[in-house]
Amino acid sequence: MKTISLNGIWTLKGRSTTDPSLKSIEITDATVPGMAQLELSRLGIIPEDIYMGMNITETEKYEDWEWWYEREFDVPTEHERAYLVFRGVDCFAEYFLNGEKIGESANMFIPYEFDVANLLKVGKNTITVHLLAPKEVAHNEHFDLHCLANYGAFSYKGQEMLYARRAAHTYGWDIMPRAITCGLWRDVQLELRDKICFEQFFFDTRDPSCILFDYELSCKLADFKNVDIEVELTCRDSHYTARRNALPYKAGKVTIPLTKKPYLWWPYGYGEPNLYQATARIYSNGQLVHEMHTRMAFRTVELDRTDVTDGKNGKFRFLINGVEVMAKGSNWVPMDAFHNRDKARYARALELAKDIGCNILRCWGGNVYEDHEFFDFCEENGIMVWQDFAMACFNYPCDERMEKALLEEATAIVREYRHHPSIILWSGDNEIDACVRKKRNYLLPTSTNTLTRRILPHVVERNDIGRPYLASSPYISDEALIRGLPTAEHHLWGSRDYFKSYEYRSCPAHFISECGYHGCPDPESIKKFITPEKVWPYFDNEEWTLHSSDQDQNDSRVMLMHKQVLQLFGEVPDSLEDYAVASQISQAEAFKYLIERMRVARPLRSGIIWWNLLDGWPQMSDAIVDYYYKKKLAYDYVKRSQAAFAICADEIAKWKLRFYACNDTQNEQRGRMRIFDVDTNETLAERDFVASANTSTEVAALDIFYSEKRFLVIEWTIDGKTAYNHYLCGYPAFDLAKYREWLAKYRSLSGFCADMKI
């Protein structure tokens, strides 16, 4: 197969659909992949620094504009099988080749391809993509009462997005600005395909004696003669191969005997993420006519769960290759408000996830589906992926039209990504069940949601093997909804008060798939997106409010961060520099508590996916790394708290503070530990320890009073390597100056990976 990239320079024309007095725009050097709004910014039609101050609101002026992308390209020779492929178009589009319409699309998330063999000319060809105005499309929609009585977290602006298969966050979210984009945001290419190639394929590894390579070929019947399929798999010294004749039909399977035990793929901490290089070849009359390269892995995944729990009689855990894995990682949110820029941020963002010890990332349902490079990195580094389908927080219409659109989308997505072993779960949506629970007196039971109870499980069942499906995160059954029962998996947000409050410490869930706490970015970063006159103070400050993120000027999240600082330290510093330090300390201690409370409670607790690693635009948020990749203090604390092996403190109970060796590996760990006061260097405990594999083992207990305010350092050595953790004794209010002293001493002995200036 030959691929001709159509990325690069296109012309772009736009006009308002509602105000004919506005002058149309023509840009002769627009870039694909790209977005119309970024071209306007580049040319200064809207502010060039689109994230500075209030500038992002300027994009709203162009929500009712339609756009035309166009370019010429050359085709050197005729070809029987030629396809124009659009990897991502945002969003409502008509496609033309040499003036003839070849198709339409209305989904930002999935690729579209068009057979153009009969329309292509040898020499110059012209391709045109007409993007309809998203605001006009939304304006012409109609809804039933169930949708009008929307129960989303952002229900005041929810209806606009309900039929649009676009990233939900683009309409405005609490982590992203409103920016309703238009553009060709992923690659565009002309594919000149071999006469015979693979339409789809899948490696079925359920049988321990063999692999089944299921395939469907794409070819004309006249070309389907004397066809053989050959498959070859290699990982280190492990090699499997098989070949069979494909006749009499284009779809079938190749059975590949397992002559020796294969290498397994394991999440980080539990073993090596072994991947097999896979090559599949098609021969016709003995001649090689097509070759396809991919990767596969041997691993099983099971989601062992109950609907409800009392904290003890329930469960929610992932078993990989039959082994319970303690899941620790981040929710993966949009890389950028403009998704053509996502790929450029992958490398640094994913290295952060690896460095901080994540063994799971949850791809949140308000986002796009990430590109293959994301999943490639995850499987190479033992990072499991929990993949939401692209719905979040709203009562989407359950009518025939929406069901058809979601069926098309989900089928395309599952087939596109199912060969990635990093994906361990398909999840129907984000928080739609939970939103029903909040308004259960007014709305239908969760089981009536045909999108997540009928359409999506059907797609997964028919197009994937060996991956579990969860209808919603968190999943709330009708019984749990009606009786108000706690769920085994939970998003732990609540009032977001003191991070050790009753709401946090009493949560009975076995798995927390969202939780977080605010942390102010470094002042150096704030000055990159807040105008000088608005940098400080934050009270009644429209720029801080917008970047918190709220385009309706509700400053509740700004003041939430303020109150969290006040809670921990009893006062709020009066300078930006001191405020940022205090806020980052508050956030860091909160993240540390949330992660470690789950780890020390094994086997009753089995995972936490915190919110979140990296900002997708400059803002005040829960992210532990800001948009400019500057690491907050929480980055250091999280890295220590979720290491594959760490010694962590529980909370004081019955006059004792107990310490646990949290060993999330498959090997017993032996070493020596010491607990001491960072102020006095007084040793409170010192001993050898033995930590059983894949569990948490108590290794020390100290007599500590609630009234004591101390910074305890935990030091341990295993096989000559020394590591550190800490525990903050006592309850608020703490003295900020004293904490900074403790932190300086801790940093001097343990090293640091955060960017915060103490």
- Show me where the domains of the chain are located: 2-192, 197-296, 301-517+607-641, 645-750
Has residue 14 got a pLDDT over 70? yes
Say if residues 638 and 589 touch (Cβ distance below 8 Å): no
pLDDT at 146: 77
**Mean pLDDT for the stretch of residues 661-678:** 97
Query: Per-residue pLDDT tens for 222-237?
Result: 999 999 999 999 999 9
pLDDT at 453: 97
Has residue 97 got a pLDDT over 60? yes
pLDDT at 151: 60
Has residue 339 got a pLDDT over 90? yes
Has residue 443 got a pLDDT over 70? no
Name the pLDDT band for 713 (thresholds 50, 70, 90): very high
pLDDT at 89: 98
Specify the fold of 301-517+607-641: TIM Barrel (3.20.20)
Q: What amino acid occupies position 411?
A: T
Say if residues 67 and 14 touch (Cβ distance below 8 Å): yes
Has residue 439 got a pLDDT over 80? no
Specify the fold of 645-750: Immunoglobulin-like (2.60.40)
Has residue 588 got a pLDDT over 70? yes
Name the pLDDT band for 313 (thresholds 50, 70, 90): very high
Task: Give CA–CA dist 215/200, Å, rounded.
Answer: 6
Query: Per-residue pLDDT tens for 721-753?
Result: 999 999 999 999 999 999 999 999 999 998 888
Query: Per-residue pLDDT tens for 597-627?
Result: 999 999 999 999 999 999 999 999 999 999 9
Has residue 408 got a pLDDT over 60? yes
DSSP structure class, residue 693: T
Query: Per-residue pLDDT tens for 632-645?
Result: 999 999 999 999 99
Query: Per-residue pLDDT tens for 57-84?
Result: 999 999 999 999 999 999 988 888 999 9
DSSP letters spanning 426-464: EE--BSHHHHHHHTTTTS--GGG-HIIIIIHHHHHHHH-
One fold for both 197-296 and 645-750? yes
Task: Give CA–CA dist 633/758, Å, rounded.
Answer: 10
Task: Give CA–CA dist 390/406, Å, rounded.
Answer: 9
With a pLDDT cut of 90, the percent of the chain lying above it is: 89
**Mean pLDDT for the stretch of residues 163-192:** 95
Has residue 592 got a pLDDT over 60? yes
Half-sphere exposure for 737 (CA within 13 Å, toward CB): 0
β-strands 656-663, 645-649: how paired? antiparallel
Query: Per-residue pLDDT tens for 444-483?
Result: 788 999 999 999 999 999 999 999 999 999 999 999 998 9
What SS3 state is found at 556?
Answer: helix
CATH class given for the domain over 197-296? mainly beta
Say if residues 485 and 308 touch (Cβ distance below 8 Å): yes
Which one, of 221, 250, 246, lies nearest residue 231 by Cα? 246
Q: Residue 505, exposed/middle/buried by CB under 10 A (0-12, 13-18, 19+)?
A: exposed
Query: Per-residue pLDDT tens for 545-557?
Result: 999 977 788 899 9
Has residue 292 got a pLDDT over 90? yes
| The CATH homologous superfamily of the domain defined by 2-192 | Galactose-binding domain-like (2.60.120.260)
Task: Give CA–CA dist 528/342, Å, rounded.
Answer: 20
Has residue 153 got a pLDDT over 60? no
pLDDT at 756: 82
**Mean pLDDT for the stretch of residues 686-693:** 97
